[in-house]
Chains A and B, each alone.
Chain A
């Protein structure tokens, strides 16, 4: 218990340091409104990619419908905060998005996650397209293909930072809990896990719902930050964008997701005018990484305070023995 407390304090310190670092960047004027966009996009992408990595990397199920859940969150928050332009309205919008996306993920996940293989990828892709088509056609509520504009801005960088920390905490805690270990057992070998008494559908659905909910929260923050959303923002391309972050970072690595979201975010800032060329580079990188490192760049490697501390202890012990 005491040991865990120590690690938690270290992590809290790291989070505080990151916060202070960004704060200093703001005060010294390094972050202009232009670079702020990159910073907040990185935050949103971290949340999205963590959720997707939980589904792909930790439970081994391939979902291509992340943009659909993001759209649910974005639209819930946008509609609520246009109606009630207060912080309360925004948060109730987030809550609505969480509930809606959770229900959709549950309803969709129970039947489709029974399937083995990659049918799930196509099924989730279909679902996200269905969500998008419904949004386009619910003209009274969502303003159809034109989208919603004039969404009151409620988020600033510290709120995004807070949400990133909360989402990370939830996902990391899930991974390290009993259900999380069961989920990873399913990833390693579904049939073996099942024969050891793991209720595979239950844990796959749990991971899927958590991933969907985090996508919806990220979508809500996105809508409030950019202030204009349209159904075309949440197409197949968006799902691929998030997938690219997950693959670059490592399929099954939280640390990797952070690193790749930050690196790709900064890279995007410089490649903004490259257009199709940027996508060509990404696509080539995706293929090359998969051929030479099918688990993503970092694989399942994690940065862990625990390991570093333990290693030091081991070394000191060894020196005593000598």
Chain B
């Protein structure tokens, strides 16, 4: 029983990372119907930016976190402007191939520049273990959970309470109608990319701190898994992405706890296929019939 609860707690931390990433996917998909394959690479870049800010500029963890979130937001906007905006009106396959191209470019660019080997992330925060009854929690795990929850609540507030959030929701429902109402669609989409990328960068830094290592290929698998999380929760729905992230994190740790750690990725993909079969709109999604 203790082991199960311990694993569930561990799953929660992993899940909050997936949730942060899934939010970016879900917002971008909700607004321009594009699977942003490069999102996992923004997460990787976030980790590397944190590494440089802490190592080279000897900043503390939190200033580095904020700086790399800002940096990733800028990169996200630039990618959207250069690669995705010219394709707004073309086929979805073309946009998807471009996204794969961008993700490939960022990966190989980093490999070319820094080499493919793992780098150890500076331990900017001293590791401490706490014993809560029979459960073991480290301060870094608590930090991950707290930062993720704060960011998620902040995002929810931005989307629900601000003018820009209202514009985002309007564009995701109908971009043309939103434009007619005087909303600057391009700026709204840029803002969405900035928000999503900032969250991804935070996730990248947190995972770097947690596992103590970063490498140029680290974004591929978490990127795909968090996309699965976004689909699971209902793509385009922000609370759904958070829920999906936590479900994937828990599922993964349960699989490991049951002794099938070799199959942990396979289980996630199998879950995706099952979800697409029985509830393509996701857990929180409503099924919408396509109109001709």
Contacts and interface: CB of A to CB of B under 8 A. Distances in A.
B231 interface: yes
Contact of B273 (A118, A127, A283): A127
Interface string B260-271: 001101101110
Contacts of B280: 115, 119
Contact of A118 (B35, B90, B102, B266): B35
Contact of A294 (B94, B101, B109, B268): B94
Interface stretch (A42-50, A76-84, A129-137, A176-184): A129-137
Contacts of B87: 290-291, 294
Nearest to B280: A115
A121 B35 contact: yes
Contact of B93 (A60, A136, A283): A60
A275 B87 CA distance: 29
A167 interface: no
B90 A133 contact: no
A9 interface: no
A146 to B, nearest CB: 14
Nearest to B115: A276
Interface of A is mostly: helix
Interface residues of A, number: 44
Given A119-B276, A130-B269, A287 B108 contact: no
Given A123-B276, A279-B108, A290 B262 contact: no
A319 to B, nearest CB: 42
Contacts, number: 119
Contacts of A130: 266, 269-270
Contacts of B4: none
Contact of B102 (A137, A191, A279, A283): A283
B68 to A, nearest CB: 23
9 contacts: A111-B273, A122-B272, A125-B269, A276-B112, A277-B112, A286-B100, A290-B87, A294-B94, A295-B94
Interface of A: 56, 60, 62, 108, 111-112, 115-119, 121-123, 125-127, 129-130, 133-134, 136-137, 191, 195, 236, 240, 243, 247, 251, 275-277, 279-280, 282-284, 286-287, 290-291, 294-295
